[in-house]
Amino acid sequence: MTVYFMKPVQMEKSVRVVPRILNLSRKFVKMDFEAFSEDVLVCKAMITFQLLER
Protein backbone atom coordinates (compact mmCIF):
# COMPACT_ATOMS: atom_id res chain seq x y z
CA MET A 1 0.00 0.00 0.00
CA THR A 2 1.29 3.43 -0.98
CA VAL A 3 -0.45 6.61 0.17
CA TYR A 4 0.31 10.19 -0.81
CA PHE A 5 -1.32 13.02 1.16
CA MET A 6 -1.39 16.19 -0.96
CA LYS A 7 -3.32 18.65 1.21
CA PRO A 8 -4.90 18.66 4.67
CA VAL A 9 -8.69 18.53 4.96
CA GLN A 10 -10.52 20.48 7.64
CA MET A 11 -12.79 18.62 10.02
CA GLU A 12 -16.47 18.41 9.01
CA LYS A 13 -15.58 18.71 5.30
CA SER A 14 -16.88 15.97 3.03
CA VAL A 15 -14.45 13.79 1.10
CA ARG A 16 -15.27 11.90 -2.11
CA VAL A 17 -13.22 8.76 -2.85
CA VAL A 18 -12.94 7.53 -6.46
CA PRO A 19 -11.71 3.91 -6.83
CA ARG A 20 -10.25 2.49 -10.07
CA ILE A 21 -9.15 -1.05 -10.92
CA LEU A 22 -5.76 -0.89 -12.64
CA ASN A 23 -4.99 -4.59 -12.97
CA LEU A 24 -7.11 -7.67 -12.32
CA SER A 25 -5.76 -11.23 -12.40
CA ARG A 26 -6.86 -14.54 -10.94
CA LYS A 27 -5.10 -13.95 -7.62
CA PHE A 28 -4.43 -10.21 -7.32
CA VAL A 29 -6.13 -6.87 -7.87
CA LYS A 30 -4.26 -3.57 -8.08
CA MET A 31 -6.43 -0.53 -7.35
CA ASP A 32 -5.91 3.21 -7.37
CA PHE A 33 -7.88 5.51 -5.07
CA GLU A 34 -8.19 9.30 -5.30
CA ALA A 35 -9.77 11.41 -2.54
CA PHE A 36 -11.25 14.81 -3.38
CA SER A 37 -12.46 17.58 -1.08
CA GLU A 38 -14.35 20.36 -2.87
CA ASP A 39 -13.04 19.05 -6.25
CA VAL A 40 -9.41 19.34 -5.07
CA LEU A 41 -7.24 16.22 -4.99
CA VAL A 42 -6.19 15.72 -1.36
CA CYS A 43 -4.97 12.10 -1.29
CA LYS A 44 -3.92 9.33 -3.67
CA ALA A 45 -3.37 5.66 -2.81
CA MET A 46 -2.39 2.49 -4.63
CA ILE A 47 -3.23 -0.84 -3.01
CA THR A 48 -2.70 -4.45 -4.08
CA PHE A 49 -5.22 -7.00 -2.79
CA GLN A 50 -4.88 -10.77 -2.80
CA LEU A 51 -8.04 -12.60 -3.83
CA LEU A 52 -8.95 -15.68 -1.79
CA GLU A 53 -11.04 -18.61 -2.93
CA ARG A 54 -14.01 -19.72 -0.87
- Please write the tens of the pLDDT for every residue from 18-38: 999 999 999 999 999 999 999
Query: What's this model's pTM, rounded to 2 decimal places?
Result: 0.84
Question: Residue 35 and residue 37: Cα distance in Å, rounded?
Answer: 7
- Are 7 and 40 spatial neighbours (Cβ–Cβ below 8 Å)? yes
The rounded mean pLDDT for the chain is 95
Question: Residue 36 and residue 33: Cα distance in Å, rounded?
Answer: 10
- What pLDDT shows up at residue 30? 97
Bridge partner list, 2: 46
- What pLDDT shows up at residue 54? 80
